[in-house]
Amino acid sequence: MSIWLLLGIGVSLVIIALIAIFVIIYNNFIRLRRDIDRAWANIDVILKQRHDELGKLIEVCKAYMKYERGILEKLTELRSQWMKASTRDEQTKIANEISRAIKELFAVAENYPKLRANENFLQLQERISGLENELADRREFYNDCVTSYNIRLQSIPDLIVAKLMKLKPMELFKVAEEEKKDVEIKFE
């Protein structure tokens, strides 16, 4: 065999290997992006369920909490804003505000013994608390997906493919500063 034939075969194998590596990395980025989209869709499902359950909770609470209309009106307004939100950032911000308002509502409800004993309220409170826990789990999964994606964007050789695909880092789901504060409970 001639040296040129061996060299040609060697170069061909290197090119085939580089193409294979490119395709594998490309497909991994596509999978990661779809995982992020799926994780966000799962968050969206929980937010929608919470949205539906909040309406029921607000109606039950209205009968008891005649003097606490502010929190109920705030929750009603936030529900409307969430339905109109068009971007993930807007939805995230409003979802964080709703979580804070729910904590306030449950804290205020402590002042209403009849409300706390009401079976409908207890069921709805338990359902919404469960949804909040599930939402926290899904946010964590979303952030795991985004973190994996962002790490791959900065890793070699993935970095080269990411630049060719013009991929940009994605934002983590962040909790608003207000949500990190304790809920103030007032006993009057």
The token duo for 53 is 């359950």
Mean pLDDT by 10 residues, the chain (188 residues): 87 94 94 94 86 76 65 82 84 85 77 67 79 88 94 92 92 69 47
> Which pLDDT score, from 0 to 100, does residue 68 have?
64
Query: Is residue 32 within 8 Å of 148, Cβ to Cβ?
Result: yes
In this structure, whether the domain defined by 12-180 belongs to CATH 1.20.1440.20 is answered with yes
The C-alpha atoms of residue 125 and residue 118 are separated, in whole angstroms, by 10
The dihedral region occupied by 19, where left means phi > 0, alpha psi between -120 and 50, and beta the remainder, is: alpha
Predicted pLDDT of residue 186: 46
Per-residue pLDDT, 117:
61
pTM across the whole model = 0.65
